[in-house]
Amino acid sequence: MNNNKINQLFANRGEKKLLSLYFCAGCPTLEGTADVILAMQQRGIAMIEVGIPFSDPLADGPVIQSAATQALKNGMSLKKLFSQLMAIREQVHIPLLLMGYLNPILHYGIEEFCRSCAEAGISGAIIPDLPFDDYLHIVKPIADRYDLRIIMLITPETSEERIRFIDEHTDGFIYMVSSASTTGTQQHFNEQKQAYFRRINGMNLRNPRMIGFGISNAQTLQAAQDNAAGAIIGSKFVTLLNENEGDANVALDKLFSALGLPVSSTD
């Protein structure tokens, strides 16, 4: 029996389309991380990505860059984040992933990072700038010991050969980036992106897929959920969280409304 919460989520979802949200730990407030996670869980969010703030987030658009800057100013660090996550470990029943760049993780130590993830109830990590060879030979053997899933990203530019290689050597799910640009909101996915979604669908990959980057309204959510196991939303939620001074319930009300979902929950 696979005990990793990510694997369990996808194994048990049936036909349900999943909604995963990203927010940056320590923004807008240093101590708000736990409240945001617990509010999301209560409101039916299936999986949460907690951002590790970094001073040079290359793949991120202005919204998430700004959130990371604010979080660092507030005093957020990996050590602080792990202590916050440890405090709510027993209350969290959905998969939590940490999303962050390699630099802070290397500073913390890869083995120490994986151990701290296991202790804090983290099921996976997304490290956008982790080279695949380093993942395969250095990070994966350590992560496997701690039952931690390292989730890899693919983009419209990723070759079929590379996608199949990633599918073969990863577990949990594959993060499908909707476009090769940075994170941010889009009004709709054009035909080129839809063709990319269909192409990946046709590959019959072993791992389930989640589509992220650019999802902010009912149209983009529907397109993502039609072509994958679910959608990941970051910038839109981060913006709403900031605008509402860290009140996750108000931010979620507004997000669900923008996505055309019932405001009571995501079911």
Q: For residue 182, what pLDDT is reported?
A: 52
pLDDT 10s per residue in the chain (267 long)?
A: 478 999 999 999 999 999 999 999 999 999 999 999 999 999 999 999 999 998 876 667 788 889 999 999 999 999 999 999 999 999 999 999 999 999 999 999 999 999 999 999 999 999 999 999 999 999 999 999 999 999 999 999 999 999 999 999 999 999 999 876 555 555 678 888 889 999 999 999 999 999 998 898 999 999 999 999 999 999 999 999 999 999 999 999 999 999 999 986 544
Instruction: List all residues 6 or more positions away from 15 whose beta carbon is below 8 Å from its beta carbon.
Output: none
How many Å apart are CA 233 and CA 224, to the nearest integer?
A: 11
Q: For residue 186, what pLDDT is reported?
A: 57
Select which of 60, 119, 161, 191 is catalytic: 60
| Helices of type H across 140-185 | 140-145, 160-169
Number of helices (H), then strands (E), belonging to the chain: the values are: 13, 9
Per DSSP, the three-state class of 260 is coil
Strand order across the 47-51 sheet: 149-151, 124-126, 96-99, 47-51, 18-24, 230-233, 209-212, 174-177, 153-154
How many Å apart are CA 90 and CA 106, to the nearest integer?
A: 28
| Helices of type H across the chain | 5-12, 33-42, 62-74, 78-88, 102-108, 110-119, 132-134, 140-145, 160-169, 191-201, 218-226, 235-243, 248-259
How many Å apart are CA 53 and CA 80, to the nearest integer?
A: 12
Q: For residue 181, what pLDDT is reported?
A: 59
Q: How many CA atoms lie within 13 A of 78 on its CB side?
A: 21
Active site residue 147: no
Q: For residue 194, what pLDDT is reported?
A: 86
Q: Which of 216, 69, 39 is nearest to 51 (CA)?
A: 69
Select which of 15, 35, 49, 226 is catalytic: 49
Question: What does each C-alpha distance from 11 to 6, 7, 132, 227 come to in angstroms?
Answer: 9, 6, 26, 18
Active site residue 253: no
The predicted model scores a pTM of: 0.93
Single-letter amino acid, residue 193? K
How many Å apart are CA 240 and CA 150, to the nearest integer?
A: 28
Q: For residue 180, what pLDDT is reported?
A: 61
Note whether 225 and 210 are within 8 A (CB): no
Q: For residue 1, what pLDDT is reported?
A: 46
